[in-house]
Amino acid sequence: MVTRGGRQIAIIRPAPTAPGRMVKAMLARHTTTVDPDFAEDVRMGRESVEDTPRATWPDA
């Protein structure tokens, strides 16, 4: 519990969890169309990342 001037202002605790399907449904309700330039930026970013697992830790 966090207090200020003797009054409780917050409670610190673990964040609640939500099943993935609930998160996906919420995002679907609150998502509008994606800006075409942003979509292209995301596509290019994904292509620039190597997603193949490595057998060893990279040296540099």
CA-CA distance, 28 to 23, in Å (whole number)?
A: 9
Q: Could you tell me which residues are beta bridge partners of residue 3?
A: 8
**Average per-residue pLDDT for the chain:** 85
- pTM over 0.75? The answer is no
In a domain, 20, yes or no: yes
Q: What is the DSSP letter of 2?
A: E
In a domain, 54, yes or no: no
In a domain, 38, yes or no: yes
pLDDT above 90: residue 7: yes
Kindly report, residue by residue over 20-42, the tens digit of the pLDDT. Answer: 888 888 888 887 777 889 888 98
In a domain, 22, yes or no: yes
What is the mean pLDDT of the segment spanning 45-52? Answer: 84
Query: What pLDDT is stored for residue 13 in this prediction?
Result: 94
In a domain, 3, yes or no: no
Q: What is the DSSP letter of 42?
A: H
In a domain, 4, yes or no: no
Q: Which domain holds residue 41?
A: 15-48
In a domain, 36, yes or no: yes
Number of structural domains in the chain = 1
